[in-house]
Amino acid sequence: MTSAILSTQPSCDDDYDPDSLTCDEAWRRIHAHVRPLQVAERVPLRTALGRVLAQPVKSSINVPGHVNSAMDGYAIKAHDVPATGLTELEVVGESFAGKPYAGRVLDNQAVRIMTGAVVPADTDTIAPQESVEAHGKWIRIDGRHRLGQHVRRAGEDIESGQTVLRAGHLISPVELGLIASLGIVEVDVIRRPRVAFFSTGDELRSLGEPLGVGEIYDSNRYTLYGMLTRLGVEVLDLGVVVDDPVALTAAFQRASSIADVVITSGGVSVGEADYTKEILTKLGAVRFWKVAMKPGRPLAFGDLGNALFFGLPGNPVSVMVTFYQFVQPALLQLMGANPAPYPTFKARTTSILKKRPGRVEYQRGTLARDANGEYLVTATGDQGSGILSSMANANCFIVLGMESAHVPADTPVDVQPFFGIV
């Protein structure tokens, strides 16, 4: 997942925690546990955007459906091409896209043809417009034409009967176009996972409510709503639940009875009012609850009835980092897709990056390019887990490996651009 930048031995100044899983191990456990949903549904093509194919898509037609021209020019017979000098051909008709030439073409005749138009049956070669001299109903060609040039074969792109997309393929705009090109109007996709989420905390107020002393607005439900909606899952927002074991137990039970996945934020640290782990142990199973990462160390994963459970930390940046690094790939897997690792490349850091060994850090950065076109990355100010503007002003994660300590300026570091993630 990451690579070490600077190695140091563990010391009292680091952050090694024997109870924490490494990020790689946490993902390995999630990956091994999540079973793709098995229920498929048939939907109109446009509705399939963002969904995963439950069945392969096969073509019942050739694409293109007919032999057609790759150039504007003249359809000719290769045997009319002169060995030396020039020869004249009579232009007997025209074949335009959607309006083929229906007649015969005799020897020493040609048909005016446009790109994409059907190549007349008697012809086999296209003489591009710029290679001939045209004089009214006659063209003059030289000997530089080869049999079959600029002719596109029927089925050149896709042959009838061919499997074009496999089950498990995630439908993006290109697949909508590809499936449309086969004339297919409905596809079989895995049903959308139902994802229920709620925030926990006595200090949280929903939008529209006045704020008392020490109270804050619940922002996590908004970032979660956005991230989940982008993924195309069915979103069930269950509001704010106070830090009370009875209320939390009821909320967990309700959520797990209506959803495939339950996501909470807050209440997973080791504070007095952090009941999540305790309740999860009672109602289901805790598979892990601490990961050696920052932000996001208190991340719980387990089962709640038949639902998967992710207990995200309360801090707003931690919610986003743990969602993108763990929940999003898990949801894709549940949707039947095969989540690919995020694109990661090296960029040189423009200043020192503060870092403690013993955990992977996902700092937030902005990418730029220097005069040589090489990537530079700058951390977006204060990297506190509660500072959501550090995400808003960023366009990438800077991923600093487990063993890394402070990273000096000008060091190449791993970056994950947001456009490959969000």
**Residue 177: partners with Cβ closer than 8 Å, 6 or more residues away:** none
The crossing angle, in degrees rounded to 10, of helices 276-283 and 245-258 is 50
Which residues between 249 and 278 bind Mg ion (CB under 5 A)?
A: 266-267
| Cβ contact 372:394 at 8 Å | no
Decide: is 201 part of the binding site for ligand AMP (CB under 6 A).
Answer: yes
Q: Give the chain's radius of gyration (CA, Å).
A: 31
- Based on the shown chain and the rule CB under 6 A, indicate whether residue 260 belongs to the binding site for ligand AMP: no
Nearer to Mg ion, 241 or 407 (CB): 241
How far apart are alpha carbons 225 and 221 in whole angstroms?
6
Number of residues that bind ligand AMP (CB under 6 A): 19
Residues linked to residue 303 through DSSP beta bridges, in sequence order: 285, 308
Residue 265 interacting with ligand AMP (CB under 6 A): yes
In the set 59, 69, 220, 322, which binds ligand AMP (CB under 6 A)? 220
Minimum distance of Mg ion from residue 298's CB (angstroms): 10
| Identified binder of ligand AMP from the candidate list 47, 269, 350, 411, rule CB under 6 A | 269
H or E segment to which residue 277 belongs: helix 276-283
d(Cα 197, Cα 310) in Å, to the nearest integer? Answer: 9
Residue 266 within binding range of ligand AMP, rule CB under 6 A: yes
Q: Binding segment for ligand AMP among 7-15, 152-160, 312-320, 363-371 (CB under 6 A)?
A: 312-320
- From 31-39, 58-66, 261-269, 372-380, give the range in contact with ligand AMP by CB under 6 A: 261-269
Closest CA relative to residue 320, chosen from 216, 414, 198, 219: 219
* Secondary structure class of 29 (helix, strand, coil): helix
Which part of the chain contacts ligand AMP (CB under 6 A), choosing from 120-128, 308-316, 336-344, 353-361?
308-316
User: Considering the rule CB under 5 A, would residue 313 count as an interface residue with Mg ion?
Assistant: no
Contact region with ligand AMP (CB under 6 A), list: 173-181, 215-223, 285-293, 406-414: 215-223
CB of 411 to ligand AMP, least distance (A): 31
**How far apart are the two ends of the chain, measured CA to CA in Å?**
18
> How many C-beta atoms lie closer than 10 Å to residue 286's C-beta?
17
Binding region for Mg ion (CB under 5 A)? 201, 266-267, 314
